[in-house]
Amino acid sequence: MSGKAKACLLLGGVLALVALAWMMLLPAVVEHELRAVTGFEFRVAVLTANPFSGRVVVRGLVANNPPGYPAPDFVELRELRSAVEVFSWIFSDRIVIDDLDLDVGTIVLMRRHDGRTNAGDFMAAFAAGGTGPPAAAPAPAPRKPTRYLVKNLRLRLDRLVVADYSGAQPDEKTYQLHIDQTCSDVTDPRQLLVPGVVRSLHGFLLRHDVGRLLPGDLGSALSAAVGGAEHIGSDVKGAGKKTGEYLKGLLDKLEQSPKQ
């Protein structure tokens, strides 16, 4: 065997070992970074990322609440598949994702005895740029939000659980949503609130104070959706009442009129 062939075999073996080490170490690195940024505990069963093609696959991701919450459950992500335009991330201030497929098993929204929620803590940690859930001290100034474009998005969400520990007795409610929604050119999570999704969330929206459970733009948009639904419902009830009164008055007049 020639020297060049041996060199190629050696280089191929080194690259294979590097790729294997990358695949084995990447989940642990990501778990550590997410824990450092949010204060939440993360476990990832499978994580593969190709830095050249931008393809990312995540399976079996579980996020648990930080200490101070009465139960650990927060998010169970069965699978995530995405194709990211690598150069958009490097040379611009906007991340472009060609395809994003999210298969979420369960989300647990939990309110503690003091009114704080796990979703609020999670979003506040990301907005502040790290250091875990907000403490009593003043939080640092929020960093500039990341701009993004998802050209093709598919979202599946089977189950939503709301656990409220702020009252005298814990109150837990489970909603079987079975959402399977596709969207195009998504730049804001509020674009996901299409009529089909709002219908699936109808029971949750009417029962809970969404603005407190989900602070931020998404919570505000969901609260607005509740207001819209209630407004439409009240209009329909009002119209029905007026129609009934009109018909009753018409029948009374007919009964009072002299017979020919």
Q: Is residue 256 part of a domain?
A: no
Would the pLDDT of 169 be above 90?
yes
Are 129 and 143 a contacting pair, CB within 8 Å? yes
Answer yes or no: is pLDDT of 98 > 50: yes
Alpha-carbon span 183 to 155, nearest angstrom: 8
> Does any domain span residue 227?
no
Mean pLDDT value across residues 188-198: 86
Residue 90 forms part of a structural domain: yes
Q: Is residue 198 part of a domain?
A: no
37 falls within a domain: yes
Residue 147 belongs to a domain:
yes
Q: How far apart, in whole angstroms, are the C-alpha atoms of residue 211 and residue 109? A: 12
Overall number of domains in the chain: 1
Region of 231 please: left (phi>0), alpha (psi -120 to 50) or beta: alpha
Cα–Cα distance measured from residue 122 to residue 110, given in angstroms and rounded to the nearest whole number = 12
Q: What is the pTM of this model?
A: 0.73
Dihedral sign computed on CA atoms, order 132, 136, 137, 143: positive
Q: Which residues pair with 148 in a beta bridge?
A: 95
Q: Which domain holds residue 136?
A: 9-192
The rounded radius of gyration (Å) of the Cα atoms in the chain is 26
Q: What is the mean pLDDT of residues 188-197?
A: 86
**Quick count: other Cβ atoms within 10 Å of Cβ 166?**
15
For residue 236, tell me if it sits in a domain: no
Tell me the C-alpha to C-alpha distance, in Å, between residue 223 and each of 23, 75, 120, 182: 42, 22, 15, 22
Which of 89-98, 135-144, 166-175, 182-191 is predicted least confidently?
Answer: 135-144
Domain assignment present for residue 183? The answer is: yes
- Residue with more model confidence, 66 or 199: 66
CA 184 to chain centre: 17
